Amino acid sequence: QFGSVEGNKDSYPKLLREFRRVLKPTGRCFLLTSAENEAILAKAAEAWTTIARATWKL
């Protein structure tokens, strides 16, 4: 396991800022996260456009 829910509150916004910096204007990124982190990622990505979202459970 890497990181923590609390740590991701800080990490996800930083990660998305770096993606925005390095991606071309038409660039895309693919993100995977756990159910525990889903709300944190969604909040951090509010300025992004979601193209597709899927959830799977085993």
Domain for residue 58, yes or no?
A: no
Tell me, yes or no, whether 51 lies in a domain. no
Question: In this structure, is residue 16 part of a structural domain?
Answer: yes
| Domain coverage including residue 24 | 5-44
Residue 25's φ and ψ, nearest 5 degrees, are -55, -30
d(CA 17, CA 44): 9
Kindly state whether residue 54 falls inside one of the protein's structural domains.
Answer: no
Quick check: is 52 in a domain?
Answer: no
What pLDDT score was predicted for residue 40? Answer: 93
Q: What is the pLDDT of residue 54?
A: 85
Q: What does the pLDDT read at residue 1? A: 58
**Count of domains forming the chain:** 1
Q: What is the pTM of this model?
A: 0.76
Q: Say if 53 falls within a structural domain.
A: no
- Check residue 19 and give its pLDDT: 94
Contacting residues for 23 by C-beta, under 8 A, at least 6 apart: 29
Distance CA 22, CA 55 (A): 27
Cα–Cα distances (Å) from 18 to 1, 9, 23, 30, in that order, read 23, 15, 8, 14
**Given this model, what pLDDT does residue 23 score?**
95
Residue 21, in any domain of the structure: yes
Tens-level pLDDT at each residue, the chain (58 residues): 577 888 999 999 999 999 999 999 999 999 988 888 999 999 999 999 988 888 888 8
